[in-house]
Structure 1
Amino acid sequence: MTKKIRIAVVDKDRCQPKKCSQECVKYCPKVRTGAEDTIVIKDKAEISEELCVGCGICVKKCPFKAITIVGLPHELEGKEVHRYGKNGFVLYGLPIPRKGYVVGLLGPNGTGKTTAVKILTGQLKPNLGKEEATWEEIFERFAGTELLNYFKDLAEGKIRVSVKPQYIEAIPRVYKGKVIDLLKRADELGILDEMVEKLELKNCLHRDVKDLSGGELQRIAIAGCLMKDADFYFLDEITSYLDIYQRMNCAKVIRERAENKSVLIVEHDLAILDMLADFVHISYGEPGVYGIITNAKGVRVGINQYLRGYLAEENVRIREKPIEFDIFQPRQDVSEKILVEYPSFTKTLNGFRLEAEAGDIRCEEVLGVVGKNATGKSTFVKILAGVLKDDEEKVKLNVRVSYKPQYVKADVSMEVGAFLRKINPMIDSSYYKTEFIKPLGLDKLMDRNLDELSGGELQRVAIVACLLREADLYLLDEPSAHLDVEQRIEVARIIRRFALNFSKSVLVVDHDIYLIDMVSDRLMVFQGEPGKRGIARKPMGMREGMNTFLADLGITFRRDEETKRPRVNKIGSRLDREQKAKGEYYYYF
């Protein structure tokens, strides 16, 4: 049996010794060496990992769920890359930038991806698990690896880095002014005009940054990053708020930059990661406790191992069950019982005109909504939700509606638990804990304030809050934003089970093809000219809808032979040409 090393992690934000009876200390077996106890309460709890026997009593006794104790394989001992103080999060392993290639980093949130990037970009000096490490010690640790020369150049200031941050919503808070002025400041390579054309930024150049949509902010952030004269480019979540056409467009631009530079991306859209990356590193572990980053794998092999939940080379199972894709798509057993019908209508807004065909939403169905950005999807949903009125005020659904908007923010300073109980007191029942709270990790957030949550945490709370409300129709606009792969899969599973178990109707707008593919019974396709005119087609079957949508984009999909996951065919490939000739853009067999 492999010997284990033990690590104890204390969440300093959650540990509040003055507000509890300190039972973690009282019930600890108190293994002693001299006068030192296993657990000592100072300002916060501190645990001696050398003395801890791993009984787990303190974990169960802590009322704030601030303590975690885990055992790790002996092989990891002494291989710590960075640790955030005593009893803090610890990272093992790093991804390796490769000149001329795009390297992907894939894994759950909270397993060290951001820490790894901070180290590689020079924002954080690795401490090797100690209080501080010298560069000589760092060089010795990575001697004989591809990272040795990288760290030597980093220590000497020879590496220039350019970073696109994860949360692009913060850009308007740190920069005031016109888009064109921001991009001119970032343009160190003299490629502003080229980037504006390739990323389709012409229409927003003379607008204020604060007035931009999420998709426009994302493309501007990508452009700003790639126009820097750097050796290493890091891009964190390039797909949030972008439609699939824009995602593919950005992927092409990023690949061009990687011709003679090192590019590292963190991305949760597996279809885009599969198309963009050459290699992928998997991060796994216990979120907020420890993270392990594997050696590089071929992108197809790495993604498939990640979905199966078993890393063959490491002989490690990272998930109890594999993520499986329905090979019987598209579904044909859609309910014929209609919940609500809506008439054809128009909506004119700031020079944009939406034209919606008459349609219906059926009982116990999940209706997926896809289309390019700025073709009216969010406007359509807001009209159904009653947030906006159509031009002639024809839309009157006469059903109870629960709505999660595209952009989620904390409007109140309240604990998550109190917020959810106010919506539905049954949140503490075993059913809701099993179906909603634990799968999305909200049990660890219940005592935290809404205004302290990250974008991904707030998104998960908003999704559950939407589904907890008593309604007939549930509208979720971009629920996948800022969620990792596991969380997106869980959201898809929760939405489907919710619709079936409670006989509810759900409408989901999203750009993640994996999520739409797994969750939808029927599909609505939005067409038109972005920013000027949108056409909301009536709901149709999945095959008809996806063929219509993908034909507009000019791309074809196939299933991976091993995992049955969606994969984008390379444009112009034999299979791509064959599917287009037959008019079968969606899973041609």
Structure 2
Amino acid sequence: MTRISILDHDRCQPKKCNYVCIEYCPGVRMDEDTITIDEKTKKPLISEELCSGCGICTKRCPFKAISVINLPEALEDPVHRYGQNMFELFGLPTVTEGDVIGLIGPNGIGKSTIIRILSGELRPNLGNFQDPPGWDEVINHFRGSQLQNYFQNLSEGKVTVVHKPQMVDKIPKYVKGKVEDLLLSIDSKRTDEVVETLEIGEIMGREISNLSGGELQSVAIAAAALREADFYYFDEPTSWLDVRQRLNAIRVIRSLAEAGKSVMVIEHDMAALDAMSDYVHILYGKPGGYGVVSNRRGVRVGINTYIRGFLREENVRFRDHEIEFKVKPPRAEEEGEVLVEYSKMIKSHAAFSLNVEEGTVYLNEVVTAFGPNGIGKTTFARILAGVEKPDEGNVKRKIKISYKPQYLSSDYAGTVEEFLYANAPSYGSNLFKSEIMRPFNLEEILDKAVNELSGGELQRLAVAVALSRDAELYVLDEPTAFLDVEQRLLAAKAIRRIIESRNASAMIIDHDIIFIDYISDRAMVFSGKPGVEGRAGSPTELREAMNTFLSETGITFRRDKETKRPRVNKPGSFLDRQQKEMGEYYYLKTE
């Protein structure tokens, strides 16, 4: 069995612990150089050849900076390793012309490393970080596979790559001017077609610095798709987009493959990944330690395999449980005790007005709210949370509310642990550890600076802090943004467990259909004209609400026969036409 040792340099603080890992290492006590000190960084270096895997250093390290991982015997010939005691990647996905290849797996598992390698930004060292091989050796390593020709062309500069980044909210820092200045400067014949498909014509004259998250995402997709390249890479292209916008993005991305281009996407919305991909590769391993790229599978089989957590061909179980989707019966309208009621409300801004129908939220229920961007969902959440007041109407009874806003600030100068001490009232309690710390995996980021967190880490922290407060209603605005598939479902379970144990309720705004299907008891639909006027219906049974919403967008869903997960029907397909004729846009009653 191969063994690797990983040192988290951000968490390792030898000045505070005085190298307890070296002090207690049995190998060091036997005068072996099992753990030495790096002269440059002054941090430990663990010899994987001499390490016995006893685990004493991992247990003694007060900052939990060391991991000793026993790899499956089948893992040989790594594609890349960043250095001693650093992340290692095994395998690469297949790149084929005319196909959209999807990557699905947890954050920190090597997806960014893969795209850096395939884009030519990072030459794979085949595990030899001390004396990296040249291109000839790399090409020879992949002989007989499709990657041989790919790397041959890449090494000769014959492959051009376009990359749509994950953190689109940072685009205004680097790109100035109007949307039309950016898109028209690309000088593509497809500009009008892409602008129309993405429905961004109305914002062409707007300054990029004034765009919302969803608008920035659409513009970033357009800018990437309009450039001429051989290989297109889209990192989380549906974040911040509503359901209709996601379908538009899927159409643009698929059009590139239909034109014979090679396309690769990282996507955590399984419904969107299903609709846009031809094939998928599952990535598994230990986040931050090592990642393994599985064999290529057809998109339906691949996603179902990921849900089951077992790779039959490789004989690998990467999760100890299967993700279960259940078709829940409709909830009775008068079921349960009333937590809060609100009257019909009106709220107007300079160029936008929101009308909300009266509604009720019951104890121990999760109500989700969905609809197009710019339609008033965040305004409604802010009214419930008491951040804004309606011009007309009111929330009939004051209750304790915990609010997680849509856009998160990472300006806090201290560490995550310091932030939790200051903002999470129950931090340090056993209840916090079991209900929040473990599900959101906060222990691994406690020593990180808040202003250095990734989008997913910041989201986990914000949701955790909101849930740590003692409240009767938890209002969470887009809690799944930047979270991977498993983190989204773990968050759903944690939210459900917390509201039931505290006899509370939750109002959640989100666009991920699978997350909404997984967590909702009831739902409310927002409609109208984005940026002009919005209408919010009363909370109603999920299937009825989904039918109303999807009929307005012209999208139909079905349930997968094996896993019961929601799947998008291809526009114009037999099922799409059949369900539209029956008025069943979400799924058939017989499913």
Is 2:351 aligned against 1:351?
yes
Contact 2:425 2:469 survives alignment (8 Å):
no
Is 2:299 aligned against 1:299?
yes
Matching residue of 2:102:
104
Report the alpha carbon displacement of residue 30 of structure 1 after superposing the two structures with TM: 1.0
Matching residue of 1:582:
582
**1:541-560 alignment, distance < 5 Å:** 541-560=541-560
Is 2:22 aligned against 1:25?
yes
Q: TM-score, normalised by structure 1?
A: 0.96
Report the alpha carbon displacement of residue 543 of structure 1 after superposing the two structures with TM: 1.9
> Quick one: which of 33, 40, 50 aligns to 2:36?
40
Amino acid at match of 2:433: K
Report the alpha carbon displacement of residue 330 of structure 1 after superposing the two structures with TM: 4.2
Amino acid at match of 1:112: G
Report the alpha carbon displacement of residue 192 of structure 1 after superposing the two structures with TM: 1.8
Contact 2:340 2:395 survives alignment (8 Å):
no
Amino acid at match of 2:43: K
Contact 1:184 1:192 survives alignment (8 Å):
yes
Report the alpha carbon displacement of residue 195 of structure 1 after superposing the two structures with TM: 1.6
Is 2:9 aligned against 1:12?
yes
Contact 1:83 1:130 survives alignment (8 Å):
yes
| 1:3-25 deviations in Å (ceiling 9; x for gaps) | x1000011112111111132111
**Whole-angstrom distance in 2 between the partners of 1:176 and 1:57:** 53
Amino acid at match of 2:3: R
**Whole-angstrom distance in 2 between the partners of 1:114 and 1:22:** 32
**Whole-angstrom distance in 2 between the partners of 1:49 and 1:188:** 53
Report the alpha carbon displacement of residue 425 of structure 1 after superposing the two structures with TM: 4.8
Contact 1:96 1:146 survives alignment (8 Å):
yes
Contact 2:426 2:469 survives alignment (8 Å):
no
Matching residue of 1:567:
567
Instruction: Report SS of the residue matched to 1:508.
Output: strand
| 1:478-519 deviations in Å (ceiling 9; x for gaps) | 001000000000011111111111111100000001111111
Amino acid at match of 2:15: K
Contact 1:162 1:233 survives alignment (8 Å):
yes
Report the alpha carbon displacement of residue 233 of structure 1 after superposing the two structures with TM: 0.4
Q: Does the C-alpha gap of structure 1 residues 144 and 329 become closer, same or farther in structure 2, counting only changes over 3 Å?
A: farther
Report the alpha carbon displacement of residue 36 of structure 1 after superposing the two structures with TM: 4.5
**Whole-angstrom distance in 2 between the partners of 1:107 and 1:330:** 32
Matching residue of 1:286:
286
**1:11-410 alignment, distance < 5 Å:** 11-30=8-27, 36-42=32-38, 43-77=42-76, 79-131=77-129, 132-185=132-185, 187-259=186-258, 260-332=260-332, 335-392=335-392, 394-395=394-395, 397-410=397-410
Amino acid at match of 2:296: A
Which ranges of structure 1 fall in alignment gaps of 5 or more residues?
A: none
Report the alpha carbon displacement of residue 452 of structure 1 after superposing the two structures with TM: 1.4
**Whole-angstrom distance in 1 between the partners of 2:471 and 2:356:** 24
Report the alpha carbon displacement of residue 395 of structure 1 after superposing the two structures with TM: 4.5
Percent identical across equivalent pairs? 52
**Whole-angstrom distance in 2 between the partners of 1:577 and 1:110:** 41
Report the alpha carbon displacement of residue 434 of structure 1 after superposing the two structures with TM: 2.1
Contact 1:198 1:253 survives alignment (8 Å):
yes
| 1:140-162 deviations in Å (ceiling 9; x for gaps) | 21111110000010011000100
Contact 1:335 1:364 survives alignment (8 Å):
no
Q: TM-score, normalised by structure 2?
A: 0.96
**Whole-angstrom distance in 2 between the partners of 1:422 and 1:573:** 54
RMSD: 1.6
Report the alpha carbon displacement of residue 391 of structure 1 after superposing the two structures with TM: 2.1
Amino acid at match of 2:562: E
The aligned length equals 583
Moved more, 343-352 or 47-56: 343-352
Contact 1:384 1:397 survives alignment (8 Å):
no
Contact 2:343 2:396 survives alignment (8 Å):
no
**Whole-angstrom distance in 1 between the partners of 2:25 and 2:399:** 55
**Whole-angstrom distance in 1 between the partners of 2:459 and 2:355:** 30
Amino acid at match of 2:267: E
Instruction: Report SS of the residue matched to 2:457.
Output: helix
Instruction: Report SS of the residue matched to 2:341.
Output: strand
Contact 2:367 2:524 survives alignment (8 Å):
yes
